[in-house]
Structure 1
Amino acid sequence: MAHKEPSKGPYGPEDSSINTERKLGLEPSASAGQGVVEDEFGSFHRSFTPRQIHVISLGSNIGSGLFIGSGKALVNGGPGGLMLGYFIVCVGVWANLQTLTEMTIAYPTSGNYIDYAGRWVDPALAFGAGLAEWLGWTSVFASEATFFVVLLDYWVKGSVPTAAWLSIFLIICLIVFLLPNTYFAWLQYFGSLVKVFLFLFNIVISLAVIGGAGPTGSVKDGSTWTDLPAFKNGFGGFASAALLGIWAIGDQIFIGVMGGEAECPRYSMVNASNVIPWRIGTFYLVSAALVTVIVPSSDERLLGGSGAAASPFVIAVADSGIKGVPDIINACMIVGILAIALESIYLPSRILREMALQKLVPLSGKGTEILNWFISITSASYFCNWAIVAFTSLRFHAAIKAQGIPIFSEAYGWQSFMWPFAPATVLVISAFLFVALFYSGSVPLGGGPFSAYTFFTNTLGLYIIVGGTIGYKILMRTKWQNPATADMVRGRRQLSEAEIMLLDKHYSRPLWRRIGTYVKPW
C-alpha cells in the first residue's frame, strides 16, 4: 500500500497524534495527542488515547438501562418482545457506527456529525441534530440524577434529604467537568471497568440461579416462556421494548465525538466500529436472555421496586436466598450512574460548542412518571439522530463523487461495509422506531382508551426536534448544500507517516492477535 506524505495544513505533521519515540508501538502515547488542533472553528486537544476509547466504549453501554430497564421491557413486551426489540436496536447500533465511522476518520472534528450535517446537507439539519443530541443527553443526565438518589436511598432509607444527594451529585459532576480532558478520560476508564465487572458478575450469578443455587433456589427450566405469553401486549409491547432498548443503548454518537478528539482517529474509530456492536450484542442479548429465564414477566417487583431492588437480577437472587448481592450491585451501579452522568455533561458541551461555532445558537411529579418522560424524549432524540447520520452519509458520498475526492483510495482509507447497506439499514430501523413511538402513544399498553396526555408524553421529543429544525430553516433561510460546492476541505485529516507506521505494524499481525487487542481491558 502506497504511503503518502502528510499534509501541511492544520492536521499536518506538527499535529501528529503519534509520539516520535513510539512510532513503532501499537498505541500512541497520551502526551503526543495533547497538542492543540486549531482551525477557523475553534480548537481542542487530542487527548483521548486508543486504550481509553477502547475501555470507555467497552463499558459505555452498561448502566441502568441494562440492569433495571430490561425488567421494564420484559413486563411490557414479554420475553419474546424483549429479545426481538433489543436485537433490532443492536443491528441499528452496528449500522449507525459503520456509517458514522467513515465520516469521522476522514474528518475527525470535535463537532462530529453536527458539523457534517451543516456542511454537506443543510445548517437547519445541523441545528436539529444538535438540538436532538443535547436534548437526549440532558434528559439522560436528569434521569441519572434520579437514579443516583434512588440507589443511595436503598441504604439510607430516606434519612438524607433528596436535595442533599442531588447537590452532591451536581458538585461531583461539575468538578470533573472543569478538569482537563485527561482526568475525564481516566475517570470514565475506571467507571467502565466497574460496569464491565458488574455485567460479568450478573452473568455468573444468573447462571448460578438458573442452576438452582441458594437456600431457597430452584432449577429454572424455561417455563417463563411457556407458562406466560412469549409476546405480551401485541405490537405495542414489542414497540415499547424496542424504544426502551434504544433508550438504553442507542446513542453511539458519544464514540464518534470522542473519536474526533482521539490521538489516532483511524485506529480508534475502526476498532470501535468493529468491536462495539459485538460487545453491545453480547451485553444486552445475553443479559436479556438470562432475564427472560430467571424472572417471570408477571413479577410486579420489576416495576414497583426501588434502586437495585427493581433489577431482575436482584429479584432472582433474592428469591434464591443469596445474601449480599443487592449491596454489591447497588454500589457498582452508583459508580456506573456517575460515569454515565459525566458522559451526559461531556457530550452536550461538545454539541453546544459546535452549534455555537457554526452560529446555529448563541453561546455565552412522581419519579416513575418523570422517568417515563425522560425515556420518551431520549428515545426520540436517538433515533432521529440515527436517521440524520444516515442521510448525511448519503450526501457525504454525493459530495465525494461530485468533487472527485479520493478519500477511500488513500493509504488506509476506510469505507463502511457494503455501502450504502449500513445507512439504508439505519433509515429502515429509524422508520420502524418512528412508527413504534406513535403507536405507543396512541394505543396504551393493556388496551386502555386513548389519552392525549400519554400521546404527548411519548411524542414530545419528536415535536421539539422536528419543530426546531423546520423553524430554524424558515427563520434563518438556510440553504441546501450542493454536493459540487460543499465544504470538503476544512477538518480533512490525512494520515501522518507515524500513523501509517503504526497501522502497518497493527495490520501485519495475525488476525487472532488483532482480535486480542479488541478484547483486552487495558
Structure 2
Amino acid sequence: MDYKGEVDDTGSKPFESSGSPRLVSTSDVEKVDSKIGTTVHLQRRLQSRHLQMIAIGGTIGTGLFIGSGGALANAGPAGALIAYAFVGTLVYSVMVALGEMATYIPISGAFTAYAARFVDPSLGFAMGWIYWFSWAITFALELTASGLIINYWSPNLNIGIFIGVFWAVITALNFLPVSFYGEVEFYFASIKVLTVVGFLIFGICIDAGAGQHGYLGFHTWDSPGAFAPHLVEDNPSLAKFVGFWAVLIQAGFSYHGTELVGIAAGETSNPRKTVPAAIKKTFYRILLFFVGAIFFIGLLVPYDNADLLNGTTSAASSPFVIAAKLAGVPVLPSLINAVLLTVVLSAANSNVYSGSRILVGLANERCAPRIFTRTTSGGVPYVAVAFTAAFGLLGFMNESSSGGTVFNWLVNITGVAGFISWTCIGISHLAFMRALEARGVSRDTLPYKAMGQPWFTWYGVGFNILIILTQGFTAFMPWDTSNFFVAYVSLILFVVLYVGHKLVFRTKFVKPIEADLDTGRTEIDEMYFEEVVPTTWYGKVGHWLLG
C-alpha cells in the first residue's frame, strides 16, 4: 500500500492512501497512528481488549473486595446497594462525556489537556496534579493492602517485607513496553473478573440453600434490617440516610479507575473505534460486577457481623471471606484471600501506569517538567514511571502506625480526589460542547456521540460537587480535626494548586471560539481496523467472556 501526503506531529493533516479502501493489519494502523497525535513518543500498541481490562484492572481492587465491608456496615444491604448504583450513574455521565472528547482528540494524559484547552490552563494544572496524586497514593494503598492480605496467613510477619517486594515487582513491570504491560494486565484483570463472576454464582447457590444454613433469601434485609442507622441516635430515619450518604465516598473510591480508558487513548490503536467500545463495555461490566457483588454480599452477610465491625482492614474483614465462612466452606476463605492478593497487585500495576501517563500529559501541556516526557526506545516514559512509583514507598508508613488507620486515611484522600477529577472532566466536556458550537461543528459528526447532552453531564457535575462538599459531614458529629483534614485535604490541595497557578501565570479562561480542537486529532481516512482475536483456546475463551 503506497502512502502519499505527510502526517505531522499534531495530526492536523489527514492521512491519505492511494487506491481503494481495504483492510489493513493492526501493525499497519499502529505504524500510522504512532506518528499521529501529540503522544510524545508513546506508541499505540494497546488493543480494545487491553483498554477494557486496564480500566477493569484499575477499578476492581480493594474498594470492592475489602472496602465494601465498611459500606455494608455503615449503610446496610439496601443502603449500600442504592449508594453503589447511584454513584454508578455519576460514573456513567463521566464516561460518556470523556468518550466524546477522547475519540475526537485521543492524546496521552487526556484529562489535563482537555481541561487546559477548553476551560482554563490553571484547571488543567490543578486537575492533572490532583489526579496524579490520587493514583500515586492509591499505589501505596494497594501495597499496604497486599501486606494486610498476607497477614491473614502469617500474622506475625512484618508487612514491610511484602510492601518492599511487591513495590519492586510492580515498578519493574511498568518499565517494560506498553504492549507487554497490556498483556499482563489483561490476564491479571481476567482473574478479577472470573473471581467476581464466581462469587456471584456462589452467592446465588448459597442464598438458594446450598450452604450450611439452608435457604436464606432476604433474611438479612429483615434482621438486622435493610438500612443501618449511622451516627444519629434520636432520629432513625435520618440515621439511615446518614449511613447511605456516608457510603458515597467509599463507593466512589471503588469505581475510581473506570476513566482510565481516557488516559490510555493516547496509546491505543485506532482509538476512534476502540475507545467508544471500551467505554460502553467497561462501564456495564463494572456496574454489573459492583452492583451484583454488593447485592449478594448484603444477602449473605448481616451488617452487624462482628468481623465487619472489628475495625481492621485485613482480608479477614472482607465480606467475600466472611460470606464463605458463614456458608461453612472451610477452604474457600484461603482461596479468596489468594485471589485478593492478585487483585491488589493488578490494581497497583494500573496505578503506576495511569499515574505516569498523567505526568506525561502534564509535561506535554507544560504543567510539569519536560523531563517526564523522556521515553525508552519501547515508548515507556521511564522518568514518569520512576517518579510515580516512588510514592508507593509511602506504604512503609505502616511500620509506624496501624495498617488499618493508614488504609482508612488513604481511602478517604483518594476517594475525594476521584470525585474532583470526575467533576473537572464534566466541566471540560461542557466547555468542549460550547467550543464545537462556536466553531459550527455539529455533535452529529463526532466519532462518538453521548446521549442526553448537555443535561446528563450537568447531572454528573452537580452531584459530584455536592458529594465533595458534604462528604466530610461526619467530622462535625462531633467535631474531629483529624477527620476533617482527611475528608477535605484533597479539596484543599486542589484549591491551592489552582489558585497558585492562576496567581503565578495569570491565566485566563479559554473563549469557546479560541479553544484548541485540532492539536492531536487522529485522522486515518479510508482505513478500517481489523481486530486481532487471540487464536489460542484460552485467548478465544477470554475474548468471548471479556470482549
Q: TM-score, normalized by length of structure 1? A: 0.87
Contact 2:313/2:404 (CA < 8 Å) preserved in 1? no
Instruction: Pick which of 69-78 and 223-232 moved more.
Output: 223-232
Structure 2 counterpart SS, 1:298: coil
2:207 equivalent to 1:220: no
Unaligned runs of 5+ residues in structure 2 are 231-238, 372-400, 532-540
Residue 199 of structure 1: CA displacement?
0.4
What is the one-letter code of the residue matched to 1:115? A
State the match for 2:292 in structure 1.
Answer: 286
State the match for 2:76 in structure 1.
Answer: 78
Contact 1:101/1:256 (CA < 8 Å) preserved in 2? yes
What is the one-letter code of the residue matched to 2:46? F
Deviations 1:331-386 (A, max 9, x none): 21111111111111111111112212222133542211111211111111111111
Separation (CA, whole Å) in 2 of partners of 1:418 and 1:495: 29
2:546 equivalent to 1:521: yes
Residue 194 of structure 1: CA displacement?
0.5
Residue 30 of structure 1: CA displacement?
5.3
Deviations 1:380-404 (A, max 9, x none): 1111111111111111111112223
User: In 2 relative to 1, CA 138–126 (structure 1 residues): closer, same or farther, beyond 3 Å?
Assistant: same
Q: TM-score, normalized by length of structure 2? A: 0.83
Structure 1 counterpart SS, 2:108: coil
Structure 2 counterpart SS, 1:37: coil
Separation (CA, whole Å) in 2 of partners of 1:212 and 1:55: 34
State the match for 1:418 in structure 2.
Answer: 452
- Structure 2 residue corresponding to 1:117, chosen from 115, 118, 122: 115
What is the one-letter code of the residue matched to 2:184? L
Q: How does 1:118-517 map to 2 (within 5 A)?
A: 118-159=116-157, 161-214=158-211, 216-231=212-227, 232-233=229-230, 234=239, 235-304=241-310, 307-362=314-369, 364=371, 365-405=401-441, 408-410=443-445, 413-443=447-477, 449-499=478-528
Residue 283 of structure 1: CA displacement?
0.7
Contact 1:50/1:264 (CA < 8 Å) preserved in 2? no
Contact 2:109/2:357 (CA < 8 Å) preserved in 1? yes
State the match for 1:105 in structure 2.
Answer: 103
State the match for 1:509 in structure 2.
Answer: none
What is the one-letter code of the residue matched to 2:254? A
Contact 1:224/1:293 (CA < 8 Å) preserved in 2? yes
CA-based RMSD: 2.9
What is the one-letter code of the residue matched to 1:396? F
- Identity over the aligned pairs, expressed in percent? 26
Residue 519 of structure 1: CA displacement?
6.2
User: In 2 relative to 1, CA 40–112 (structure 1 residues): closer, same or farther, beyond 3 Å?
Assistant: closer
Separation (CA, whole Å) in 2 of partners of 1:353 and 1:57: 18
Contact 2:11/2:37 (CA < 8 Å) preserved in 1? no
Contact 1:236/1:439 (CA < 8 Å) preserved in 2? no
Contact 1:87/1:285 (CA < 8 Å) preserved in 2? yes
Separation (CA, whole Å) in 2 of partners of 1:475 and 1:495: 40
Separation (CA, whole Å) in 2 of partners of 1:171 and 1:426: 38
Deviations 1:150-197 (A, max 9, x none): 1122223323x3232112111101111111101110110011110011
Residue 9 of structure 1: CA displacement?
4.1
Separation (CA, whole Å) in 1 of partners of 2:544 and 2:415: 29
Instruction: Pick which of 489-498 and 174-183 moved more.
Output: 489-498
Contact 2:38/2:108 (CA < 8 Å) preserved in 1? no
User: In 2 relative to 1, CA 489–128 (structure 1 residues): closer, same or farther, beyond 3 Å?
Assistant: same
User: In 2 relative to 1, CA 6–456 (structure 1 residues): closer, same or farther, beyond 3 Å?
Assistant: farther
Contact 1:82/1:238 (CA < 8 Å) preserved in 2? yes
Residue 435 of structure 1: CA displacement?
3.7
Deviations 1:211-259 (A, max 9, x none): 3334x43321322112224322223311221110000113333111112
Separation (CA, whole Å) in 1 of partners of 2:35 and 2:66: 41
> What is the total number of aligned residue pairs between the two structures?
492
